[in-house]
Amino acid sequence: MRKRRKAALVVHLIWAVAVAVAGIAIGETIALLWVGGLTPEWIEATGTWFGAVAIVLALLWAVQTFRADQAHREEERRRVETDREAALEAEERHIRTDADRVGLVLRGGAGQGSAGEQELTSVRIAVHNDTDRPVVVEEFTLDPPLALRPPATPIRIMPRECWDELLEVVPVPTTGGELSGRPLKNYGGVISFEVHGRRWTRANTYVHADPA
C-alpha cells in the first residue's frame, strides 16, 4: 500500500513539474518576444529556448510513461502470483479431502468360548476408497494384542471401491457385541496408503450402528 501511494505521489510530482515548466516556457517565450520584438535574432533565440523546454517536457513524459508501464507490470505480476497461490491452495485442499475419503473399518469375525469368556479368532478388515483416484495400501498395523499375518501388500484399490478380507488372529478376549461383523470397539489399527503421490496414515473408523 505504501509503495502504491509513493508511486502515485511521484507521478503527480512529475506532472506538476511538467505543467510548471510548460508555464514558464510559454511565459518566457512571450516575454522574450515582447522585449526583443520580432527581429530574426530574437525569434531564433526564442525558438532555441522553446526547443530546449520541449526536450525537457519530452523527457518528463518518457519518465512518466516508463513508471506507468512499470507499475502495470508489477500489478500484473502480483495478480499472477496471487492466482498461482490460490490454485496451489485449492489443489492442496483437494488432495487432503481425498486422503480423508480413505477409511479403515475393523469388524469382528468368528469367536469361541462361552458367554462371558468369549475370544475373537478372526477380524474382517475393510479399506474404503471413496475418491476418484486409485489408492495403494502399503502397510497394515493392528493394535496389540491383536496379532495376525498381514495380507500381502501393496494392495491397489480402484476408485469408489472397497477391499475387504477376513483374517485369522491370535485369540483375544472380546464381548459378544464385537462378533459376527460388528465393529471392533476395543481394538484398533492403522493403514499406510498412497494417493496423489503422497503417503498418508489412517486409523480405523469406528462404525457405531450394528449391521442389519
Q: Cell 500500500 identifies what position?
A: 1
pLDDT at 209: 35
pLDDT at 126: 92
Q: In a structure prediction context, what are the per-residue pLDDT tens digits for the chain, which is 212 residues long?
A: 554 555 555 555 555 555 555 555 555 555 555 555 555 555 555 556 556 666 666 677 777 777 777 877 888 888 888 888 888 898 889 999 999 999 999 988 888 877 777 888 889 999 999 999 999 999 988 888 888 877 888 999 999 999 999 988 888 888 767 888 888 888 888 999 999 999 999 888 654 333 33
pLDDT at 76: 81
pLDDT at 138: 92
Q: What angle do CA 111, 112, 114 make, to 5 degrees?
A: 125
- Which cell numbers hold the place of 131? 475418491
Summarised one tens digit per residue, pLDDT across range 101-125 is 999 999 888 888 777 778 888 899 9
